[in-house]
Amino acid sequence: MGLKPNLTLGALGGPNTFGGDASRELMSLYPEFANIAYFRTAEDGFTFTGEHDAMCAPQQMMKTGFHPGINAYVADQGSQLYVIAETTHVYHCSLLLQPGVKMENVVEVRGHTGSMTQCRDWIEANLPQAKITIVHTSSHEAAREALSGDGTIASVGTPGMAEQFGLEQAAKDIDGGSCANYWAISPHRLFSDAPNRIVVAGRFSSDGATGRLIAALMNCGYDLRSTFTKASGEKLYEYDYLFWFGGHGELSAVQAALGSFGSARLAGAYEARD
């Protein structure tokens, strides 16, 4: 079991976005991803119609923590999506300007949700006059807008994007060294027989089941690494959880342990690779 060959990985925007960079890192770690497809928005990428097998997206970021939208795709009640691979990606965010434009002439900085939040402190300190605008498509679109304007709009992008659009990197690494854990999220149930990462989704309340579940997975060889929660909106103290475990054990033992928890869904059993 595990990943199968000749998979297609989805990425946001294009080859030079932050997601594009992260997807290439995933593909180098997991050669089972042999093809790549690009999508204009995350919503498009998470609509699986047979064009791709998984979507590359940031699960959590160093400065701002969990990406609520991406985690919710897996954590939401009724979700049938699975985490099948991961990589840690260093952003290397740059401030991109039209050639010859000075930073003091910038009145607005545009960027995508993840990367922009990692750079907000730098932008506010160094461009106090500039409005910060979150673009909900991708950093590719933000760079295009910076290029097509009168030069007063800057964007947060990658070094590759500067080269692609003919923009200047007015400042480099403005995220302070921030990084993100990117997941490959798939509609396919691709589990490793001997995973070193386990993802469990489920709706739990205050009856102590979460503690018992964590203990059960510890007995299988897995320690809890992080927990994402989203209020169900139906009961007090009731949340949709996404547990992320690391360790070494056997898939069959994990499945047997989760069988005692009716609301738990095994949402990932994969190998993290260096």
Q: What is the pLDDT of residues 222-239, one digit of tens each?
A: 999 999 999 999 999 999
In this prediction, residue 135 carries a pLDDT of 83
* Residue 87 phi, psi (nearest 5): -155, 150
pLDDT tens digits, 105-163 = 999 999 888 888 999 999 999 999 999 998 887 777 777 777 777 889 999 999 999 99
Q: What are phi and psi of 214, to 5 degrees?
A: -60, -45
pLDDT in tens, 171-181: 999 999 999 99
CATH of 94-177, one of 3.40.190.10, 3.40.50.2300, 1.10.10.10, 3.40.50.10710: 3.40.190.10
At 243 the pLDDT is: 99
| Strand partners of residue 179 | 90
For the cut 90, the answer to whether the pLDDT of residue 245 exceeds it is: yes
pLDDT of residue 136: 80
pLDDT of residue 150: 86
pLDDT exceeds cutoff 80 at 170: yes
Tell me the domain boundaries of the chain.
7-90+180-270, 94-177
Model confidence over 31-47: pLDDT tens digits?
A: 999 999 999 999 999 99
Cα–Cα distance, 37 to 226 (Å, whole number)? 30
The token duo for 247 is 């360790």
85 vs 132: CA distance, rounded Å: 33
The stretch 259-273 carries a mean pLDDT of: 97
pLDDT score, position 146: 73
Beta strand 94-97 pairing with 153-157: antiparallel
* Fold observed for domain 7-90+180-270: Alpha-Beta Plaits (3.30.70)
pLDDT digits (tens, 9 = 90+) for 92-120: 999 999 999 999 999 999 988 888 899 99
Q: What is the mean pLDDT of the chain?
A: 95
User: How far apart, in whole angstroms, are the C-alpha atoms of residue 215 and residue 218?
Assistant: 5
**Mean pLDDT, to the nearest integer, of 184-193?**
98
Percentage, residues of the chain above pLDDT 70 = 100
Q: How far apart are CA 65 and CA 228, in angstroms?
A: 10
pLDDT average, residue stretch 81-96: 97
pLDDT at 266: 99
